[in-house]
Amino acid sequence: MTTAAIATAATPGRSRKYGSISRDRRWALRWSYFFLTVFAIFFLMPPVYMLITSLKTSAEISAATNPWWAYHPTLSNYIELLSSSQYLTFFRNSALVSVIVVAVTMLISVPAAFALSRMRFWGSAALATGVFLIYLIPETLLFIPLFKMFALVNEHTGIQLINRWWVLLFLYPTLTVPFCTWIMIGYFASIPKELDEAALMDGANYRQILTRVFIPVALPGLIAATIFAFTVSWAQFLYPLAFTTSADQLVLPVGIVTSLIKGDVFNWGQIMTGTLLGAAPRSSSTRSSWTTTSPG
């Protein structure tokens, strides 16, 4: 709104030789770039600040010099962190959890989406809507009853579920599967019926229709769903915070928050290094998904 107001206000002051519409457009463009730069600075400031801090030594940080510049940039934080077995454990846990959750999510949601979009059965329409509603149930509503349920399981069967990283393999799919099923239903529903009819004429069974026709045709959607599942499992914070406590069971976000903060001593150089390295896989995967799935 400001652009147009300013652009029109700016017009009378200038000579009218070039025609007002093109000048309006040019001014609108300049203001667009100006405000985009302002917003980009706001949006990029924390990650840039992460990078600056990660290049500083603790001594430089506590000397309280200009926080926006690293005078003696060093990679010592990176070296220290990448050679610390604790951080590598977090990283391994995160990677394992994310990869397995992605696989489980796809194994559950692709067949379910196929069945819900192509094979009608009793309650399938309700289930398709229900899947979306389930996605709207936040994890903040479920972690307390789940905590109690796991404690009860331990009481009755002796299987320890709390403070085990692999319990996250059961919890994360509740966050990823409903959404992935929902978008896969959308993708599968957009595949023309003539394709499965042609496959049927050639004598394909359901499994072959799914693997030979649906999955290849809906591949962009499948990739998007995979990346969604990965980013959700990489970033999840509440479940690991509530269900895992000992240092060797933690995943990256919780590990950084709880272990690098020792008492009140914050090793900010290392924390920022850890977060930057931890943010990298998710950021790069989401960015690549955006470029592969977006038409523009």
Least separation in angstroms between CB 231 and other proteins? 7
Assigned token pair, 97: 């959890």
Q: Which is nearer to other proteins, 78 or 143 (CB)?
A: 143
Q: Which is nearer to other proteins, 85 or 141 (CB)?
A: 141
Q: Which is nearer to other proteins, 78 or 170 (CB)?
A: 170
Q: What does R_g of the chain's alpha carbons equal in angstroms?
A: 26
Least separation in angstroms between CB 111 and other proteins? 4
Least separation in angstroms between CB 66 and other proteins? 7
Least separation in angstroms between CB 275 and other proteins? 4
Least separation in angstroms between CB 219 and other proteins? 20
278: Cβ–Cβ under 8 A, 6 or more apart, which residues?
91, 94, 252, 253, 256
Report the alpha-carbon distance of residue 278 to residue 81 in Å, rounded.
11
CB atoms within 10 A of CB 206: 16
Q: Which is nearer to other proteins, 6 or 74 (CB)?
A: 6
Q: Which is nearer to other proteins, 8 or 154 (CB)?
A: 8
Residue 81's alpha-carbon distances to 247, 278, 295, in angstroms, are: 15, 11, 39
CB 232 within 8 A of CB 178: no
Q: Across the chain, which distance is largest between two alpha carbons, in Å? A: 86
Report the alpha-carbon distance of residue 148 to residue 158 in Å, rounded.
14
Q: Which is nearer to other proteins, 158 or 192 (CB)?
A: 192
Q: In this structure, which amino acid lies at residue 27? A: W
Report the alpha-carbon distance of residue 257 to residue 244 in Å, rounded.
13
Least separation in angstroms between CB 84 and other proteins? 17
